[in-house]
Structures are given as structure tokens and as C-alpha cells.
Structure 1
Amino acid sequence: MPRTEHNIGRQRSTRYEICTNGLLTLRGRQLQALRLGTDPNAQANIEAIDRVLIDVIGYTGNIAEESRDFRRTSTFRRGELRRAVADVLRKADRPLTTLEVAKAVLEPRGVEVSYARKHKARVTNVLAVLKVMAGEGRVAKTTNRQGNLAWSFAPL
């Protein structure tokens, strides 16, 4: 294939943008591993990545600022909260409020739950799962004796 026809020479980068981005991402993951204590070599890996960025690639930006540990640790994996909510409702002998479902699902994992402002997002996540399941017909929405919204499992 002729070089001038397909302009191959211009497609090559001399600034290593993709490599730099990958190394900064890897450094962020190593920071997370260092914070969580999952990798005993995380600190050595971070130092090695810094040496490659500076000495080999010639990166001049602020490495620490560009590769902060932004990742959060999630309490549940994909679909796990939904399965846990369904299990709690299956085992319940009466309709449960959203807060009761949230406590039954989250407290075994060491997460505190209440209607306080700092815990409201977790209760809201459980409520969102309950609403989706109600839309699918898997969960029935009722009210309890106090007039609060309650949920019960609706077998198919």
C-alpha cells in the first residue's frame, strides 16, 4: 500500500497520548488498590508508573492531580441489590416498608440505614429497585396500618 495514498505518516503520534492516558488510568487503579490494601505491590507499581511517565515518555503535567483515585467502592455488584430485595420480600411474612427492606438488605453488609440525610441515597436506591420490580409485576405495592407505603412479593 503506497504511503502517500493512505497518509500513514500522519496517523502516527509522537506525543504518546494513548499511552499516557492508559498509564494515568492504571496509576489511579493502583491508588485504589493501595487504599483498599488489595495489592501488596501497589506502592512499587505507582513509583514505576511515575518513572515511566517522566523518564520514558517525558510527561510534564502534574501526575498526582491527573490520576486521583476517583473510583468508589460499590456495596453491590450489578443486579445483586435487586436479588437481595427479592429474597427479603420472599422471606417476609408481612408487607415491609421501604426502610425495613433497606435495613434488611444493607445491614448484613455493615451499612447503616435510616431516613437521615446521609443515608437517604441508599434508601432511595432500594425504593428505585422496588418501583422497577412493581412495574414488572414482581412486587405488590400496598399501605400498612400506619398508612405508609409497604411492599410485598407477588409470585408469578
Structure 2
Amino acid sequence: MIITVDDTPFYLKLINTPTWHQLIGDREIRTLEQAKHFLLAGPIKMQEKYGYSSYIIRLNATSEAIGICGFFKRDYLADADLGYALLPQFTGLGYAKEAVIASLNYAKQTLGLTKLLAITSKNNQRSMSLLASIGFKFVEIHSKDKVLKVFSIDL
């Protein structure tokens, strides 16, 4: 499901987990109003402009939101990049891999993308392993605000 302002409470919870702060970065968003503004100016605007953005990962059995997965267009990367994050209690259970594979299929079949990038912090071994397991190849080191590893896959 495409992320909407109705997902603001979940998004606020997700981006303030210790794992998010450590591996993605502290966005310094602490209130529902700040989170809503970020969603409107970021993912929701990106969806309108590019036709893709973040999607909520939900458990099939309960519809509980457990993470996000989707595509981002960053000014410092030539192609869209894949990003994902889960609440800590749902990591290591295969949900990220399932969401990434579904997202790659969506990117190719529905969006018509032919190439995707993915970026990780230099110490995010779990994400690097997941990306390698589905065919992403290391491309380069990139420095924006911090050192990032860039991976690529042809769809």
C-alpha cells in the first residue's frame, strides 16, 4: 500500500527506532505534525511526481504495519533507489527479502524501470547481504552526508 498521511503514527514510530537512527540517520522528527509534514513533502510528493515512493509493509494475517519498502529518487543518484526498513522486532524473519523481491517485480512489470540502485551505510552488513542474495552488485562508495555503499541491479 502506498504510504499516506494515515500512516503518520506508524512512520513516526519507525523512524525513531534505534536501528533507524543507527543505520539510516536521525531525521529529528519527534512529533506527529513533523512526521505528517515529512510524509507530505517527501514520499507523498515523490509518488505524485515520479509514480513511485514508499509503500507500507503489512502482515497478511493482521494488516499490522511492520515496515516500509519502496523507491526513492535522490538528486545525487542517477537512478531510483530501493529502500526498506522494518520495526526491530520484525527483522531477521524474511519480511524484508519478501518485500524487496515484490518491489523489484513491481518496478519491472508495473513501473517499467530497467535498473535500480540501493544504498546502505558502510556498516550495514545485514542489508548488504540481503541485496547480494537477490542479485544487487556493489558499484561504488558515495559520500553525501556520510559514507554510503551503492549497489545496482538490472531488471
- TM-score (norm. length: structure 2): 0.25
Larger radius of gyration: 1
More helix by share: 1
- TM-score (norm. length: structure 1): 0.25
More strand by share: 2
